[in-house]
Amino acid sequence: MKLNPNQLAAALARSLAPVYVVAGDEPLLIQESLDAIRAAARKRGYSEREVLDVEKGFDWSRVSQACDSLSLFASLRIVELRMPGGAPGTEGSAVLQRLAERPPQDVLFIVVCGALETKQRNSAWFAALESAGASVYAWPIDGDKFEPWLEERLRGAGLKPDAEALQLLAERTEGNTLAAAQDIAKLALLFPDAAIGIEQVREAVADSARFDAFDLNERMLSGDAAGVVRSLGHLREEGVEVLELLGALTYGLRQWANVQAAFASSGDAQRACEAAYVPRPRQGPYQKALRRTRLPQIYGWMRKTAVIDQLAKSTGGKEQAWEELLTLVMAAAGSAPKISQTKIPSVAQRA
């Protein structure tokens, strides 16, 4: 059975399938779908949960053992297999198909993946799990889909947005579902069960919330050159100083270097992220960046932050510091800027 996240609640109210595969492009919707499945399982007496992470060299016999073993504490258990890459290989595919053919009794089996290509969604293991239970795929919410999704979430939180409020919130969250969910939670807390207009959104959601220094790091990692220019320009318009950005930027580059170094040793992007203690929800941008950058480049950008620091502290060096910072973030995003053509508006230019 194929389900989208919006259909999951109704399906769970009817029955609990023995097998679920949850995957997609939207981490928020994947997490919410997993929370809903676990909650439905708890209501039905599933009180124990075992989590297995598929890494390089993973022993697939552990999956069969986890599903077949008897628990001393609970008769109903959840076995959750996390497989971010969605590539179980020949051995893993065979194990998953066997489990799908004969789902283990008293066990709810959940396979969790990230974004999957068409070939992976059409694979034998995916089809077998889907036939044995259900697949829940979280497709991207972008373009024309985002505002309707945002309005549905707002109304689901008891809020009644007008058209201007909805448009402003959509602009400020820029299609980011995680940021939108946080902002909706804040609005619901401040204005419970209320009509929401543009002033309420302005009051509750800081305009720089999606354009902070850590957002710059995310955009650099993702290779979003246009986004880093927008972010940097917005921060400057808000009156943020170069020195206020450098701390977070330097921290981000240092962590990037740690991940890159681990990747150079292992060649495994997920393992490199975990070795550098990058939380799972934030690993996606790092995995995008690892194959287009090299460690000496990142060290060069880190040295550049020291130069920018000195410029920002020098008399008359503020404008050059902004230009050097723009050069740095665009280079890190994979674009070579032409400073004569790409400028961050100064306060004087806006006056």
Walk me through the domains of the chain, giving residue ranges and CATH numbers.
Answer: 2-138 (3.40.50.300), 143-204 (1.10.8.60), 213-350 (1.20.272.10)
Query: CA 156 from chain center: how many Å?
Result: 22
Q: Does residue 339 have a pLDDT over 70?
A: no
Amino acid identity, position 148 = P
* pLDDT for the residue numbered 85: 75
Asked whether the beta carbons of 256 and 40 are under 8 A apart, the reply is: no
pLDDT (tens digit, 9 = 90+) per residue, 116-131? 888 888 999 999 999 9
Whether the pLDDT of residue 208 is over 50: the answer is no
Residue 191 backbone phi and psi in degrees, to 5: -130, 65
Question: Residue 323: what residue type?
Answer: E
| Over residues 180-186, mean pLDDT | 83
**Which tokens in the block code for residue 341?**
């053509």
For the beta carbon of residue 174, count every other beta carbon within 10 angstroms. Answer: 16
Q: Give pLDDT tens digits for 260-282.
A: 998 988 888 888 888 787 766 67
pLDDT value at 210 more than 50: no
DSSP string, 33-95: HHHHHHHHHHHTT--EEEEEE--TT--THHHHHHHHSPPSS-SSEEEEEE-TT---HHHHHHH
Q: What is the pLDDT of residues 44-102, one digit of tens each?
A: 988 888 888 888 788 899 988 888 876 555 578 899 998 877 788 899 999 999 999 88
Query: What pLDDT is stored for residue 350 in this prediction?
Result: 39
> pLDDT tens-digit profile of 322-338?
999 999 999 999 875 44
Token duo for residue 343:
């400028």
- Whether residue 221 contacts residue 288, with contact meaning beta carbons closer than 8 Å, is answered with yes
The pLDDT of residue 341 is 39
Whether the model pTM is above 0.85: no
pLDDT digits (tens, 9 = 90+) for 217-240: 888 998 888 888 888 887 887 778
213 pLDDT tier (thresholds 50, 70, 90): low
pLDDT for position 72: 55
> Residue 140 has what pLDDT?
83
